[in-house]
A = this chain, B = another copy of it.
Amino acid sequence: MTASTTITLHYLGPEGTFTHQAAITAAQTLRPLAPEGAEFTLAPEPDVPAIMVATRDGDGWGVIAWENNVEGYVVPNLDALIDAEDVAGFVRVGVDVAFDAFVRPGTDMSRVRTVSAHPHGLAQCKRFIAEHNLTPVPASSNAAACRDLKPGEMAFGPAICGKLYWLDTVAGGVQDYQGARTEFLVIAPRREVPDLLARARGNGVAEFESIVTFIPLNTGPGVLADLLDVLRDAGLNMTSFISRPIKGHDGTYSFIATLDAAPWEDRFRAVLGEVAEHGDWVKTLAVYPRRERPNPPVDAWMLPQGGVHLDASALPDGWNDDETVGRELLW
């Protein structure tokens, strides 16, 4: 007889959501971190607070949406993780936001007139809807649209909905915009995270990223600059930075930074220590293996339209009286 371990991965249901797809991807990524022979069970939850509670209580790990390259941060989840007791992220996984078009088996395609999905899903597949002369019918979620699909109708959803709900895939990747991607964090009880990260290092992962929240207790001009000076002087590279009001308290601010370093590295540890000794509030939200990331230079051709961009080595006289400069800066 072999002792076997089952780890539950909690995700935002119903079955067939993008978070479900992320949980399936995460189960592969997580295999080297789990005890040998461990099995993963996936459990749909009604909302993110339920995922946080199940994880905090030691009933497995959770998968939460974190950031989308079009919509930005999933701010309610960011606020929830900042305020969460005893959970932290240790793996980050990405899922392409791609929709397939499904029908029930045996459907006569020439008679399909309607397509169902969440309004966001319908908005992301406008071209396909127009080309096929379909009438959009909103649903509470893409997964629910696929689950509840009636014979003779069509639904849009993540690829996994086909297998899950025994549907025929009529067309793949029907979304208008091909580059959308959502990133998810896998979260665990805080007491487990150091061991999980130690295992990743043991498996040869050398580079990590960290997400840290800072709340300066004294506010006013320069608070943020002073904080960032500490990070710069330590040579730490930041890949994302935002300010957020403290949940429920407009006018108070926390700062969330994503850094190319792990808190146990000397220079990062020294920074965290310096900020904490200064009396500011600090919390590490997640530490995970560094993602593959593009690192392109900023070329002039990719700058937004308008704005001011001068050649610093050859400033024309009186550039600051220029009419175009004035219009773009509104000074």
Instruction: Give complex CA distance A310, B141 in Å.
Output: 44
List 18 additional A-B contacts (Cβ < 8 Å) besides A136-B140, A225-B229.
Answer: A86-B306, A215-B303, A222-B232, A241-B241, A246-B298, A250-B293, A251-B293, A252-B302, A254-B304, A269-B331, A279-B313, A281-B308, A281-B309, A283-B306, A283-B308, A283-B328, A284-B330, A284-B331
Q: Assuming the A-B contacts A250-B294, A273-B320, A279-B310, are A232 and B221 also in contact, with contact meaning beta carbons closer than 8 angstroms in the complex?
A: yes
Contacts of A231 in B (CB 8 A): 221, 225
Q: Is A84 an interface residue (CB 8 A)?
A: yes
List A223-269 residues whose CB lies under 8 Å from chain B.
224-226, 228-229, 231-232, 235-255, 263-264, 268-269
What string of 1s and 0s marks CB contacts (under 8 Å) between A60-76 and chain B?
Answer: 00000000011111011
Identify which of B85, B118, B220 contacts A306 (C-beta below 8 A): B85
Interface membership of chain A positions 268-297, coded 1 if the CB is closer than 8 angstroms to chain B and 0 otherwise: 110011001111111110010000011111
Give the Cβ gap from A302 to chain B, nearest Cβ, in Å.
5
Would you call A298 and B248 a contact (CB within 8 A)?
A: no
Determine if B244 and A72 form an interchain contact, defined as CB atoms under 8 angstroms apart.
Answer: yes
For this chain, the copies found in one complex come to 2
Are B237 and A311 in contact, CB atoms less than 8 angstroms apart?
no
CB of A44 to closest CB in B, whole Å: 16
Cα distance, A88 to B120, chains bound together (Å)? 27
**Which of B237, B307, B315 interacts with A281 by CB under 8 Å?**
B307
Choose the segment among A1-9, A95-103, A152-160, A189-197 that binds chain B (4+ C-beta atoms closer than 8 Å).
A189-197
Closest to A280 in B: B309
9 A-B contacts, Cβ less than 8 Å apart?
A69-B245, A72-B75, A118-B138, A138-B139, A138-B140, A191-B327, A247-B304, A251-B295, A264-B331
A19 at the interface (CB under 8 A from B): no
Inter-chain CA distance A303–B283, complex, in Å, is 11
Is the Cβ of B220 less than 8 Å from the Cβ of A237?
A: yes
Pairs of residues from A and B, 6 with the lowest C-beta to C-beta distance, nearest first: A279-B312, A283-B307, A72-B75, A225-B232, A263-B331, A251-B294
A242 touching B242 by the CB < 8 A rule?
Answer: yes
